Amino acid sequence: MQAARQPQTPNLNAAAVFRLLADETRLRTVLLLDRCGELCVCELTETLAVSQPKMSRHLATLRDGGLVETRRSGQWVHYRLSTDLPRWAKDTLAHTAAGLNNEMPFHDDAQRVRRAIAKNRSECES
């Protein structure tokens, strides 16, 4: 198991965060990571019904922007919110998640991610 790739948080400011979240796929991804803690790329692609290359591009953008960090386990890469996020960013994500919890497509994402985790977790951890 490799250590998490450290995000670049020094340039993380409100405008940068909101630019990253302006894309619906990235917003949905970040809210899922906020809800679940850590997810494998395969769980995210299945939940959001996007191709693996597209998901990887979005995750790279989020990682390079300092919102997420990675952990490699064998061939699988797991993503989680950056542990270095400033308090205001964590609060913003928590309030956004709470406000969108019953809205589409975020409500369905929460149900789909549970199924994706149940289906893929043992494979992703090996």
Tens digit of each residue's pLDDT (9 = 90 or more) over 66-110:
999 999 988 889 999 999 999 999 999 999 999 998 889 998 999
Q: Which residue segment(s) compose the domain that 67 sits in?
A: 14-124
87 within domain boundaries = yes
| Whether the predicted model's global pTM rises above the 0.75 cut | yes
Tell me: cis bond preceding 7? Omega within 30 of 0 counts.
Answer: no
Question: Domain total for the chain?
Answer: 1
d(CA 116, CA 62): 21
| Percent of the chain with pLDDT strictly greater than 70 | 88
* Domain contains 5: no
